[in-house]
């Protein structure tokens, strides 16, 4: 049985994501749910092969002739927990990180990020890898919001913005966006009934509240589910950046330019690909000394 992983994540509904254009995401989500494929299919087998048999993932600055090299991994776009034909998932990235981590030729890793975040459940793969991590990691980031920023805080020894023109950081929070079609359903003469087995009165309680018009109870229940996710996110950010500024916008999930993020000590530096690889190589040599 084939499972569309992205549809599964959309249906699950909890995201660590900066929704810059909710309307466009909604259109894409509806197409995926209805079985319409959007974009070009990804070759996940080829992606994983780029880390098998001692391969280091490419990257123009990675090097191939030195005794020790810098591994490279690129994370782009919204991230799902599991990859499928249209997106790489956290499982794919975990595979690559483990291969680089276990490759004796690799002294350090550059992870290049450009993404708005992704599914809440995707963070588990990176929490797992954190306990296995043996090599320095430099994160070079353009867009680095929500889930992507959380990953950077978990794994990176150094977070570097890729220039200060388009790079951005932040969106420290969890969200759930729901399309309210109740009025449209009434106009169509439709209604939803939820029937639970005896003794299962609290099953799907949030949706029971929603369709019963108990909006405040519905919101409170979802907020209670989202709060521990947000709290864990914030705790990891503070561990990674103990001197982070106290500006209330940071932990209220605002977004920041690279210059602002550096000023607020949300990142370590602003640089470019060459500087990221030079730093990774130096960190690898320092660890080996």
Q: pLDDT tens digit string along 48-84?
A: 889 998 888 876 555 555 678 999 999 998 898 998 7
pLDDT at 42 over 70: yes
Q: What's the pLDDT band for 1 if we cut at 50, 70, 90?
A: very low
DSSP characters for the chain?
----HHHHHHHH--EEE--S-HHHHHHHHHHHHTT---SPPP-HHHHHHTTSTT-----TTS-SSSSSEEEEEEEES-BBSS-BTTB-BHHHHHHHHHHHHH-TTEEEEEEEEEE-EEEGGGHHHHHHHHTT--S-EEEEEEEEETHHHHHHHHH-SEEEEE-SSS-EEE--S-B------HHHHHHTT------PPTT-TTTTHHHHHHHTT-HHHHHHHHHHHHHHHHHHHHHHHHHH-TT----HHHHTT-EEEHHHHHHTTSSSEEE-HHHHHHHHHHHHHHHH-
Q: What pLDDT sits at residue 32?
A: 54
Q: What pLDDT sits at residue 68?
A: 86
Q: What pLDDT sits at residue 85?
A: 72
Q: What's the pLDDT band for 219 if we cut at 50, 70, 90?
A: very high
């Amino acid at each position: 049985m084939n499972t569309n992983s992205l549809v599964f994540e959309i249906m699950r509904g909890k995201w660590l994501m900066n929704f810059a254009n909710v309307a466009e995401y909604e259109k894409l989500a509806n197409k995926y749910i209805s079985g319409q494929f959007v974009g070009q299919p990804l070759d996940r087998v080829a992606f994983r092969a780029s880390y098998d048999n001692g391969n280091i993932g490419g990257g123009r600055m990675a090097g191939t002739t030195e005794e020790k090299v810098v591994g490279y991994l690129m994370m782009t776009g919204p991230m799902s927990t599991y990859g499928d034909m249209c997106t790489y998932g956290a499982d794919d990235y975990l595979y690559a990180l483990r291969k680089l981590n276990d490759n004796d030729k690799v002294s350090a890793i550059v992870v290049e990020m450009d993404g708005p975040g992704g599914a809440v459940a995707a963070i588990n793969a990176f929490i797992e890898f954190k306990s296995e991590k043996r090599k320095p990691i430099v994160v070079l980031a353009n867009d680095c919001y929500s889930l992507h920023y959380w990953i950077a805080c978990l794994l990176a020894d150094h977070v570097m913005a890729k220039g200060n023109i388009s790079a951005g950081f932040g969106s420290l929070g969890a969200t759930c966006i729901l399309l309210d079609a109740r009025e449209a359903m009434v106009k169509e003469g439709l209604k939803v009934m939820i029937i639970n087995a005896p003794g299962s009165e609290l099953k799907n309680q949030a949706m029971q509240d929603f369709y019963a018009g108990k909006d405040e109870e519905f919101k409170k229940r979802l907020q209670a589910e989202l709060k521990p996710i947000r709290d864990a996110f914030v705790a990891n950010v503070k561990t990674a950046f103990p001197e982070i500024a106290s500006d209330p916008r940071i932990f209220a999930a605002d977004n920041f330019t690279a210059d602002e993020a550096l000023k607020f000590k949300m990142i370590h530096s602003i640089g470019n690909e060459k500087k990221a690889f030079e730093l990774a190589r130096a960190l690898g040599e320092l660890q080996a000394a």
